[in-house]
Amino acid sequence: MAGILLHLPNLITISIILIFLAATTPSIGADHHHEFEGKPINRKLIGLKKEKLSHFRFYWHDILSGNNPTAVQVVPPASNTSATAFGLINMIDDPLTLAPNLTSKMVGRAQGFYASASQQDLGLLMVMNFAFSEGKYNGSTLTVLGRNSVFTPVREMPVIGGSGLFRFARGYVQAKTHTVDLTTGDACIEYNVYVMHY
Ligand SMILES: *[C@@H]1O[C@H](CO)[C@@H](O)[C@H](O)[C@H]1NC(C)=O
Ligand SMILES: *[C@@H]1O[C@H](CO)[C@@H](O)[C@H](O)[C@H]1NC(C)=O
Ligand SMILES: *[C@@H]1O[C@H](CO)[C@@H](O)[C@H](O)[C@H]1NC(C)=O
């Protein structure tokens, strides 16, 4: 008790200083240069022209066999008894070519992973960037995130964004199995991409 009384004058001094500081500090709302707020700009300022719809077709090669696989298991299934390999994750760096033949012109790579996300049927969660390397698209990317029920003839997945020539991209892909080797799992898939971009 005596100790608190001893400190009382100090406390009063500190309180007075704090009140003085509060009265002289400008309020944050008045400081316009440090406000966090989006400013409207003209789209031409960042080189955006008219929005257009484009269609691309290429073939996606998922190679699990051999000495140079392009798809590698990074997480095993959660249980060995799961018929759908639920929990499995394969990391991919799959070539994209203009024709089904792997030796045809490569236009980019599909980089990302797919995961077995369904316990009832074979439904993959696909998370991948199409990193293009051909012509004016070299360096531009499209991002696909969606559900791939691999035994359905045509699987549709959303294109959720892009970079470079595909800034502000949105659209969808349709994936159709061209060939699949059920022993090795190697697959060639036809991708038709429909994308809105500038
Ligand atoms: C699955 O089987 C493999 C090989 O037989 C074994 O090493 C692994 O521990 C098993 N995993 C589970 C989750 O049971
Ligand atoms: C793929 O292309 C190579 C050379 O370009 C050719 O030798 C081969 O026969 C082709 N394969 C198929 C299945 O068309
Ligand atoms: C794509 O761009 C990279 C990096 O700028 C360059 O090294 C490469 O040669 C280009 N490829 C093509 C096919 O233009």
Res 126: pLDDT: 98
CA of 56 to the centre of ligand 3 (A): 20
- Residue located nearest, by CA, to atom 13 of ligand 1: 79
For the segment 49-60, the average pLDDT, to the nearest whole number, is 96
Atom of ligand 2 nearest to the CA of 102: 1
- Residue located nearest, by CA, to atom 9 of ligand 1: 80
Res 176: pLDDT: 98
**pLDDT band (50, 70, 90) for residue 19:** very low
Amino acid at 78: A
For the segment 67-84, the average pLDDT, to the nearest whole number, is 96
Under CATH, which architecture does the 50-197 domain have? Beta Barrel (2.40)
Mutation probe of ligand 1 site: the residue of 80, 81, 82 with most atoms within 8 A of C-beta: 80
Res 10: pLDDT: 56
Res 21: pLDDT: 47
**pLDDT band (50, 70, 90) for residue 184:** very high
Tens digits of residue pLDDT in 32-45? 567 899 999 998 89
- The tokens describing 2, both together, are 């005596």
47 phi-psi bin (left φ>0, alpha ψ -120 to 50, beta other): left
Tens digits of residue pLDDT in 87-109? 999 999 999 999 999 999 999 99
Domain ranges (residues) in the chain: 50-197
Closest by Cα among 160, 162, 156 to 171: 160
pLDDT at 66 over 70: yes
pLDDT at 3 over 80: no
* Ligand number nearest to the C-alpha of 178: 2
CA of 80 to the centre of ligand 1 (A): 6
Q: Which residues line ligand 3 (CB under 6 A)?
A: 133-134, 138-139
Tell whether pTM > 0.85.
Answer: no
CA distances from 15 to 21, 25, 27, 79, 193 (A): 10, 16, 20, 64, 66
**pLDDT band (50, 70, 90) for residue 1:** very low
